[in-house]
Structure 1
Amino acid sequence: MQSHFDLLQSELCKICKSLSKAKKLHALVIKSHLSEDPFYATQIIRQYAANGDVNSAHHVFDKTSTRSVYLWNSLIRAYAQAQRFGNAFALFNNMLTTNTRPDNFTYACIVRACSENFDSATLRLAHGRAIVSGLGSDSICCSALVTAYSKLGLVNEASGVFDGIPEPDLVLWNSLITGYGYSGLCDKGMQTFNSMRRARKKPDGYTIVGLLLSVADSSLLKIGRGIHGLSLKSGFDSNSHVVSLLVNMYSRCKCMTSAYKVFGSIFQPDLVIWSALIAGYCQAGDYVKALLFFRELNMKDKKADSILIASVLASIAQSASVGPGREIHGYALRNGLGSDVMVSSALVDMYSKCGFLHSGIRVFKLMPKQNIISYNSIISGLGLHGCAFEAFRIFNKMLNKGVVPDESTFSALLCACCHAGLVQDGQQLFRRMKDEFDIEAKPEHYVYMVKLLGGAGELEEAYNLIQSLPEPVDKGILGALLSCCNTFGNSELAETIAHRLFESSPDNSVYRVMLSNIYASDGRWDDVKKLRDNITGGLRKLPGQSWIEGHFCKL
C-alpha cells in the first residue's frame, strides 16, 4: 500500500492543467512540511508554470532556501515558456552569481529563449558561457545551439557548432538541415542530407520537413518531387506535418494540381493540412477555390483559426470582390474571432482594397487592441483612397500611443503621398524613416519615391536618386521611372533607363513596348519599327489571318 508521501509524489509528477488543483497540491506540500524540499518545490513550480501562473512559481522559488540546479531550471523554463524572456535572462544571470552551476539543460533553455526572442547577441553570449563551462560539445547544448542559430538564419554559426561534434545524432543532423531549409539554401540542405546518409543515419519525418522547407519556388520543383518520393518510400506520407509541408511546397511551386493530389491522398485531413491547401490557392490567386474549400472545411465542423481566416481575406482583397469578404467576416464574428488582431487587420485591408473604406474604418475603430499590423492596414487603405492627410493623422496617433513604425508603415505612407501628389511630405517622410526610426530604405520605398518625383515631373531628380543607389538597381525602381518618362514623353531619359533594363532583363518585352510607345508619341516611327521587330523577330501577322499552333488559318 502506498504511503501518503508516495501518493503526493505521484500526483506532483503528473502535470495537471488546472490552476486550482495546482494550488491544492501546493497547499498539501506546505501542510506536509515539504515546501523547503527542492524536489517538491521544483514540482510545484512546474505545476504553476503549466497553468500560466509564473508569479506564483517565482513565489515558491523565493521561499525555497536550498536551490538545486533543477529548481533554477524549472523557473527559467517557466519564464521562457511564458515568453517573459527578460525575466528568464535576469534569473540566469542571477544564477551565475551563486554556487549552483548551470547544467546543459540550463543552457539549452536559455539558447531556445534567445531564438524565440530573436536575440542573436545574447545567444552568442550564452554560447560562449557554455564553452567556458565545458559544455561546448554537450549533445543537448549543441542541438539547442544548432537549432537556435538556424532559426535566426545564422546557418554558418550553426554549421560551425555542428562541425565541432564528433558523432552528431539524428536530431543534430535534422536541426542543421532545417536551418538550411529556413534560409532557403536548398543545395546546402541536400549536401548535408547526403552526408547524413553516408554516416548511415536513417531519415525520419523531421528530416523530410527540413528538406521541404528549402524548396522555395518552381525552379526547384524536380527536387521537391524527389523529396516527395522519399517521403512515400520511407512511409512518412501519412505524417500530418509532412503532408502539410508537401502541400505548401507544391503551392510555392505553383503546382496546385499536385498539392490537391497530396491533400486528396489523406483519408481524414486535419486542420493544418486543410489550411495548407486553402493557403496554397490563396497564394496562387485562385480565391474561388480557396473560398470553396473554406466552405467545405466549415461544413466538416472544423473551425478555422485566425491565420487561415486572414490568409483567405488577403486572397479576397486581391480579387476586389467584397461579397466573399463579408461572408468570411460573418464567419469570424460567429466563431468569436471578430476581435482578433490578425483577423481584424485583414478585414480592414480587404474592405479598403474592395472599395469599402468606410467598412474598414469601422472595423478598425471597433478593435479592442490595435498593433502595428492593424495601423499599417488602415494607413494603407486611407492612402489607396487618396486620404493622405487622414493617413498621416493616424500615423501621428500611432506614434503618440508608443507603437513603433516598421518598413510597411513607411511603404503605406509613401504610397499615400504618391496618390495625393505630396512631394515635400514624401521627401520629409523618407528622411525621417532613416534619421528618426533607423529603418533602411528597401526597393519598394525607392519605387514610391521615384513615382512621387516622376509623377510631379521631377524626372531628373528621380534619376539622380537612382544614380545614388548601388548596382544592380532593382528593376521595379527603373521601371517606375520609365513609366514616368512615358507620361511626360521624355524619350532621351527613357532610352537611358530602358537600355539598363534591357541589359538586366533581355527577355522582358514589356520595357520595349513602353519605350516604343514613347518613340511613337515623339513620331520616331523608324525607332518604333526597330523595337517592334526586335519583339516579334521581324514576323508580321497578315490582315484577316491568325497563327494557331503554327498554322495559318483564314478568318
Structure 2
Amino acid sequence: MHPILRQVNGRHRTSLSYYTYILDRCWTIKSLNFVKITHAQLIKVGFNTHTFLGNRSLDIYCQCGTVDDALKVFDDIVHKNCISWNICLKGLFRHGCLERARMLFDQMTLRDVVTWNSMISGYLSYGLIGYALVLYLKMQNAGVRPNQYTFSILVSLASCAHQGKQIHGSIIRNAFNLSNVVLGNSLISMYGKLGHVDYAYGVFLTMVKVDAISWNSLIWSCHQSGYGELALDQFYLMRTTQHVPDQFTMSTVISICCIMRDLDKGKQIFAFCCKVGFLSNSIVLSAAIDLLSKCNRLEDAVQLFNELNNLELAVCNSMISSYAGHGFGEKAIKLFVLMLKENLRPTEFTFSSILSSVSGILPADQGSQIHSFVVKMGVESDAIVSCSLVQMYSKVGLIDYAMKVFVNMTEKDLVSWNTIIIGLTHNGYVFKALDIFKELVIEGPHPDHITLLGVLLACNYGNLVDEGMEIFSCMEQEYGIIPECEHYLCIIDLLSGVGKLKEAMNIIAEVPFEPSFMLWRAVLRCSDICADLKLVESVAERMMEIKPKSSLPYLVLARAYEIRGRWESVIRIREAMKRHCMNDMIECSWLGIKNHVYTFKADQLLHHGGEDIYIILKLLFWQLEVGYI
C-alpha cells in the first residue's frame, strides 16, 4: 500500500471525502504512480464514473499523465458537465493534440466562456493567431459574452494599431471599465508594442487604480516606442508615488540606459539598486553588465562579475556575450566551460551567444563540439540556436554542415533564410544562394532588406548582371523594399566590376541621398579599363572631398596616369598622397593552431610569443636561401 494511503488508514475508503482527500494529495505531489494507484481504487469501488471525482482525476492526468490515460478517465465519466469538457480540452492543448482538441470542441453541446477562452488561448499558444481571431468572432455570434480573461488573451493577439483599437473598443462596448488592473496593464503593454505611446498614456491616466506593474508597463511602452528619455522620466515620477520599483523596473531602466549608451544615468540607477538591495538580483546584475559592456567599460563589467559570490545563469550569459562582443572569444569559451563545471544548465541564449558572437574566431573542431553539446541538451530545434549554428559553420567554411542544419530546421524564420543565403554567398555558392531565395519567395516569409542585400551580393560575387539588375529594379514594386545605401553599393560594384561604368554612373545619379565614399569607391573598381580619364579624375576628386586623408583615390589616380604613361602626374599624385594621407592599416588575419588563435594586425604579431615565431620564420627563410629545405 502507498504510504499516503496508510496515513488515512482510519478513514472510510468508500466515502467521497476520502477519495477527494487522496486526489488532493495526488495533485500536491504530482506522482504519476500514485495517481494510477488511486485511479485503480476508484475503478474498484465504482467511483470512476462519478462526475466530481472523475473531473479531479482527469485534471491530474492532464497535468502529469498521458493523453490516452486522460481520455480513458474522460470516457468513464457518465454525466459529463461543462467542467469535464473544458478540462479535457485544456489537456489536449497541453499535450499538443490540436486536431483532437478541435474535434472535441465540435462535439460539445454546451460551451461556456471558459470553453471559448481555452480554444482561443490554445490556438494562440501554437502561433495560430488567425484561427484564434476567427474563434473570437464565432464566440460573439454564438452569444457568449467575453470576460476579462478573454480580452487579456485578445490584447496579446493585436498585430497592428487598427486591431488594437478594435479590441480596446470591444472592451468598452462590453461595459468593462479600467477598474481591472490586469486588463489595463495589458492594454498599456499592447499599445507600447504597437508603438502608440500616446494611447498607452491614455489608458494609464484613465485607470481607476494602478500598481507597480502598471508603471513597469508604461516605462516599457515608452522604451518600445523609441522614447528612452521619456521612459526614464516615468521611472523618476514613479519614485514620487507610493509604488516601489521592483527588479523588473530596475532591469528595464538599466537596459534603456544601455540602449541610449548613457553610462552616467546608468551608474546613478545602479547606485540606487545597491541602495535598495537589488545588488544580488541576477536580472539587475545582468542588465548592469550589459550596460558597462556596451559603454566600452568591459573592465568594470568583469570586476562586477568577479565580485559575485555565486555564479548565476543569467549573469554568466551576459558576461559571455560581453566577452564575445569585445573580441575575447577564448575568455567567453572559458566562462562557458566554467558554467558547465558549476552545473549551470546552458540555455538557448547561452548557445546562441557562444556560437554567434565568437564564430568568427572559433576553430571548426570546437564549433562542432558545441554543436554536439547542443544536440545532447535537446535545444537543436530552437530557431535561434539553429540559426547561430548555420552562421558558425558558414563563417568557418563548412557550408555543407550549415546547409544540413538549415534543411533540418523545423521552423524557418526570416533570420534563418537570410543567414543561409549570405553564408552561401560568402562561400562562393552564388547559384545555390539564388535557388534558396526562390524557395523563400514561394514558401517562406516575406523577404526584407537584408534578404535582398544577400541576393544582390550573390549576383555581385558571381558577376550575374542581368539577375542583379532584375532584382534591384523590382525591389520596391514586388517586395515593397526601398533600396538603401548597401543595395546601391552592391549593384554599382557589380556594374563596375564588368566594366559598365556608364550604367553605374546612371544609377549614382538616381540615388535619393548624397553618394557616400563607398559608392564612389565602387565606381573606381574598373578604373584600369576605363578609357575616360576625366571621369576617373572627377570621381577621385569627389572621394578626396569626402575623406581627405584616404590614400585610395590618390592610388587610383596614380595607377590611371601610370597606364597612360603620364609619369610627371604619377610623381605629383604620390607626393600629394604623402602630404595629405595617413598610412594606417586596420586589416588583420587570424590563424588557428590547435586551441590557440593567433592575430596578425598591421604587420605585427599581437599574440603572446610573437618574437619567438618571427625567429623561427627567419630561420626557415635562411634555410631556404642556403638550400637546406
**TM-score normalised by the chain length of structure 2:** 0.72
Map residues 33-44 of structure 1 onto 2, 5 A cutoff.
33-36=78-81, 38-44=82-88
Map residues 182-201 of structure 1 onto 2, 5 A cutoff.
182-201=224-243
Asked if residue 479 in structure 1 is aligned to residue 479 in structure 2, the reply is no
Instruction: State the match for 1:495 in structure 2.
Output: 541
* CA deviation after TM superposition for structure 1 residue 107, in Å: 0.9
Instruction: State the match for 1:203 in structure 2.
Output: 245
Larger displacement relative to structure 2 (22-31 or 131-140): 22-31
Alignment partner of 2:335 out of 290, 293, 297: 293
Instruction: State the match for 1:133 in structure 2.
Output: 174
1:33-91 CA distance string (max 9 Å, x none): 5522x345444444444444444555554454443333332332232223322222112
Alignment partner of 2:195 out of 138, 153, 171: 153
Instruction: State the match for 1:83 in structure 2.
Output: 127
Instruction: State the match for 2:351 in structure 1.
Output: 309
Asked if residue 422 in structure 1 is aligned to residue 458 in structure 2, the reply is no
* CA deviation after TM superposition for structure 1 residue 401, in Å: 4.7
* CA deviation after TM superposition for structure 1 residue 304, in Å: 2.5
Check 1:406–1:159 CA distance in 2 against 1; reply closer, same or farther (3 A cut). Answer: same
Q: Aligned equivalents of 2:102 and 2:409: distance in 1? A: 34
- Would you say the 8 A contact 1:72–1:95 is kept in 2? yes
- Would you say the 8 A contact 1:453–1:459 is kept in 2? yes
Instruction: State the match for 1:168 in structure 2.
Output: 210
Q: Which amino acid aligns with 1:90?
A: V
Q: Aligned equivalents of 2:135 and 2:207: distance in 1? A: 29
Instruction: Give the secondary-structure state (helix, strand or coil) at the position aligned to 1:355.
Output: coil
* CA deviation after TM superposition for structure 1 residue 294, in Å: 1.8
Unaligned runs of 5+ in 1: 503-508, 537-555
Instruction: State the match for 1:539 in structure 2.
Output: none
Q: Aligned equivalents of 1:26 and 1:339: distance in 2? A: 29
Check 1:69–1:256 CA distance in 2 against 1; reply closer, same or farther (3 A cut). Answer: same
Q: Aligned equivalents of 2:263 and 2:149: distance in 1? A: 40
Instruction: Give the secondary-structure state (helix, strand or coil) at the position aligned to 2:359.
Output: helix
* CA deviation after TM superposition for structure 1 residue 200, in Å: 3.2
Check 1:532–1:150 CA distance in 2 against 1; reply closer, same or farther (3 A cut). Answer: farther
Instruction: State the match for 1:112 in structure 2.
Output: 156
Equivalenced residue count is 519
Q: Which amino acid aligns with 1:482?
A: W
Q: Aligned equivalents of 2:543 and 2:76: distance in 1? A: 82
Q: Aligned equivalents of 1:369 and 1:73: distance in 2? A: 27
Larger radius of gyration: 2
Task: Using the aligned pairs only, state the percent identity.
Answer: 26
Instruction: State the match for 1:451 in structure 2.
Output: 493
Q: Aligned equivalents of 2:341 and 2:246: distance in 1? A: 34
Check 1:486–1:270 CA distance in 2 against 1; reply closer, same or farther (3 A cut). Answer: same
Alignment partner of 1:395 out of 437, 440, 445: 437
Asked if residue 122 in structure 1 is aligned to residue 163 in structure 2, the reply is yes
Asked if residue 262 in structure 1 is aligned to residue 262 in structure 2, the reply is no
Instruction: State the match for 2:627 in structure 1.
Output: none
- Would you say the 8 A contact 2:504–2:523 is kept in 1? no
Q: Aligned equivalents of 1:47 and 1:252: distance in 2? A: 45
* CA deviation after TM superposition for structure 1 residue 405, in Å: 3.5
Larger displacement relative to structure 2 (49-58 or 294-303): 49-58
Map residues 398-409 of structure 1 onto 2, 5 A cutoff.
398-399=440-441, 401=443, 404-409=446-451
- Would you say the 8 A contact 2:189–2:200 is kept in 1? yes
* CA deviation after TM superposition for structure 1 residue 143, in Å: 1.0
Q: Aligned equivalents of 1:235 and 1:267: distance in 2? A: 15
- Would you say the 8 A contact 1:19–1:48 is kept in 2? no
Check 1:136–1:464 CA distance in 2 against 1; reply closer, same or farther (3 A cut). Answer: farther
Q: Aligned equivalents of 2:175 and 2:330: distance in 1? A: 58
Check 1:84–1:402 CA distance in 2 against 1; reply closer, same or farther (3 A cut). Answer: closer
Instruction: Give the secondary-structure state (helix, strand or coil) at the position aligned to 2:63.
Output: coil
Asked if residue 178 in structure 1 is aligned to residue 178 in structure 2, the reply is no
Instruction: State the match for 1:92 in structure 2.
Output: 136
Check 1:364–1:258 CA distance in 2 against 1; reply closer, same or farther (3 A cut). Answer: same
Check 1:396–1:15 CA distance in 2 against 1; reply closer, same or farther (3 A cut). Answer: same
* CA deviation after TM superposition for structure 1 residue 177, in Å: 0.6
* CA deviation after TM superposition for structure 1 residue 412, in Å: 1.4
- Would you say the 8 A contact 1:454–1:481 is kept in 2? no
* CA deviation after TM superposition for structure 1 residue 179, in Å: 2.1
Check 1:60–1:379 CA distance in 2 against 1; reply closer, same or farther (3 A cut). Answer: closer
**TM-score normalised by the chain length of structure 1:** 0.81
* CA deviation after TM superposition for structure 1 residue 146, in Å: 1.0
Q: Which amino acid aligns with 1:255?
A: R
Structure with the larger RCO, 1 or 2 (CA within 8 Å, 6+ apart): 1
Instruction: State the match for 2:49 in structure 1.
Output: none
Instruction: State the match for 1:233 in structure 2.
Output: 275
Q: Aligned equivalents of 1:102 and 1:52: distance in 2? A: 25
Instruction: State the match for 1:18 in structure 2.
Output: 64
* CA deviation after TM superposition for structure 1 residue 268, in Å: 3.1
Instruction: State the match for 1:549 in structure 2.
Output: none
Instruction: Give the secondary-structure state (helix, strand or coil) at the position aligned to 1:215.
Output: helix
Q: Which amino acid aligns with 1:247?
A: I
Check 1:234–1:483 CA distance in 2 against 1; reply closer, same or farther (3 A cut). Answer: same
Check 1:351–1:80 CA distance in 2 against 1; reply closer, same or farther (3 A cut). Answer: closer
Instruction: State the match for 1:465 in structure 2.
Output: 507
Map residues 541-552 of structure 1 onto 2, 5 A cutoff.
none
Q: Aligned equivalents of 1:81 and 1:127: distance in 2? A: 22
Instruction: State the match for 1:322 in structure 2.
Output: 364
Check 1:377–1:99 CA distance in 2 against 1; reply closer, same or farther (3 A cut). Answer: closer
Q: Aligned equivalents of 1:192 and 1:422: distance in 2? A: 54
Q: Aligned equivalents of 1:365 and 1:132: distance in 2? A: 48
Q: Which amino acid aligns with 2:193?
A: K
Larger displacement relative to structure 2 (175-184 or 456-465): 456-465
* CA deviation after TM superposition for structure 1 residue 338, in Å: 5.2
Q: Which amino acid aligns with 2:130?
A: G
Instruction: Give the secondary-structure state (helix, strand or coil) at the position aligned to 2:323.
Output: helix
User: RMSD value over aligned CA atoms?
Assistant: 3.6
Instruction: State the match for 1:222 in structure 2.
Output: 264
Instruction: Give the secondary-structure state (helix, strand or coil) at the position aligned to 1:238.
Output: coil
